[in-house]
Amino acid sequence: MTVPMSDPDTADRTGSAPAHAADTDTADTGAAALLTALRRDLPEDALGTGPEATGPYATDRSGSRPDGIPLAVVHATHTEHVQTALRHAHDLRVPVVPRGAGTGLSGGASAGAGSVVLDLSRMNRVLELSPEEQIAVVEPGVITAELDRAAGEFGLRYAPDPASAAISTIGGNIATNAGGLRCAKYGVTRDALLGLDAVLADGTLVRAGRRTVKGVTGYDLTGLLTGSEGTLGVITSATVRLRPVPEETVTVAAYFATFAEGAEAVSALTAARVEPAMAELLDGPVLGAVDDAQGTALRSRGGALLLLQCDGRGAAAEADAAVRCLRGHATSVEVTGDPAEADRLLAARRLALPSLERLGRVLIEDIAVPRSRLAAAVREIDAAADRHGVRIFTFAHAADGNLHPILVLDPDLPGIPDAAWQAAGDIFSAALRLGGTLTGEHGVGTLKRRWLADELGPDQHRLQRRVKAAFDPHGILNPGKAL
């Protein structure tokens, strides 16, 4: 695969020709008309304009830097605000970028000049929580961990558990089909999502899915909108499935000499039919970064740390089986049933990315490979780092083959160096060669679009563009993202 050397933060991503003066004049006229319409039809505090109001919404946690800053920010508090903003933007052909908490890692919520950000973080109500049906109906701005806590009052929980659960929103989780720490057993966001309300590009409100556990009427629009990165519709509510809190949870911490040996141990667990609720693997450099940031001493224990959790009535027996399997690979293995000790261990995983962000600008990758090829993928990542002379820190949702190689770059550089893009290209090529995918849960956004066709192929790529056109004929929803 040939890797273009231009930085996708600045390169044209649409394949269209540069705008002419007449096009610019038309855009300016449309923008002015849109602001007039929004000021007329939205509450006064729902619209923000000017650099101070819009600047903070130009990028997300990926650090992707678009050209310029957004035209305006609409702070929606009701579905009607979303419909109003989209109806006017559709009529006037003004691009709209949906946004939750801005914790996305692929540039999916970055918003450049001339765009309107649709901020959904104020739509943060739990509309219904039914212990009998084990479901909740929530608005998109509800923080993931807060939904989990609300369910916990009834002995239930929201199973998807992204590492950013304390700050990420349900709407953002749906937009990227986020996974998380417990996805080894409980699946990703799509597996917990029963139905949703979404506003299409022209302001039409559609209700997809259902409240029942089963349902196959019509096409699965809920599944299609999940993971669509704000390019097909804007989520305004979601009906999600809750699960009982497990009666017992046992946590296992295993240290290894190398990250590759830890990956091989995870493959051995899979072969032994051990199915933990969680299997998180961190390499030695990540452990060192956590130590430096948090004052821990994890790196002294080994070159990699595997954190397992087994839950349910058979948790102890399953943990025992895991320990027996791991002892032939690990340098040391510890087991605890103490929730406080488990939280202390899991804090290392949840703090991994914040600890790396202290070291420089991070380019966060997200590949997934068949579980049996996990160790091979680890070796490919190490080889790419050595070949191109870049620092790569890796952690993984190991039980489902999802790896996060994190490139840490000099924050003073104006863009992303060629060596970093070459290393990233090598990693993506390796993932596809091993039978995997470019992204397991973070989405394509802007940072991975140059490699998209390598995975989809031309026929599927064209089909997906036709689906996009059916939902968004004028291309106003999150343009330049995903496809």
Confidence band of 4 (pLDDT split at 50, 70, 90): very low
pLDDT tens, position by position, 329-357? 999 999 999 999 999 888 888 899 999 99
Confidence band of 27 (pLDDT split at 50, 70, 90): confident
Cα 232 to Cα 316: distance, rounded to the nearest angstrom: 44
Strand partners of residue 199:
205, 234
- The pLDDT of 24-30, averaged and rounded, is 74
Confidence band of 25 (pLDDT split at 50, 70, 90): low
Position 10 pLDDT exceeds 60? no
- The pLDDT mean for the chain works out to 92
Position 211 pLDDT exceeds 80? yes
How much is the pLDDT for 24?
63
Closest CA to 381 of 359, 403, 356, 401: 403
Pull the structure tokens for residue 172: 């953002």
Pull the structure tokens for residue 121: 């973080």
Confidence band of 65 (pLDDT split at 50, 70, 90): confident
Position 139 pLDDT exceeds 60? yes
Position 109 pLDDT exceeds 90? yes
How much is the pLDDT for 12?
37
Alpha-carbon radius of gyration of the chain: 22
Cα 175 to Cα 29: distance, rounded to the nearest angstrom: 31
433 close to 451: Cβ distance less than 8 angstroms: no
- pTM for this structure? 0.89
Cα 245 to Cα 148: distance, rounded to the nearest angstrom: 10
DSSP for 31-51, written as a single string: HHHHHHHHHHHS-GGGEEESH
Confidence band of 28 (pLDDT split at 50, 70, 90): confident
The residues, any chain, with a CB within 8 Å of residue 283's CB and separated by 6 or more, are: 259, 262, 303, 304, 393, 394, 395
Position 22 pLDDT exceeds 70? no
Position 370 pLDDT exceeds 90? yes
- The pLDDT of 64-93, averaged and rounded, is 95
Position 61 pLDDT exceeds 70? yes
In this structure, the strands spanning 96-99 and 116-119 are: parallel
Position 11 pLDDT exceeds 70? no
96 close to 30: Cβ distance less than 8 angstroms: no
Cα 408 to Cα 393: distance, rounded to the nearest angstrom: 8
Backbone torsion region of residue 401, taken as left when φ is above 0, otherwise alpha when ψ lies between -120 and 50, otherwise beta? left
- The pLDDT of 406-417, averaged and rounded, is 89
pLDDT tens, position by position, 426-449? 999 999 999 999 999 999 998 889
Q: At what angle do helices 374-388 and 259-271 cross, to 10 degrees?
A: 160
Pull the structure tokens for residue 1: 């695969």
Amino acid at 173: N
Position 9 pLDDT exceeds 50? no
Confidence band of 229 (pLDDT split at 50, 70, 90): very high
How much is the pLDDT for 20?
46
How much is the pLDDT for 412?
86
pLDDT tens, position by position, 94-107? 999 999 999 998 98
How much is the pLDDT for 8?
39
Rounded to 5°, angle at Cα 75 from 228 and 47: 125
Position 15 pLDDT exceeds 70? no
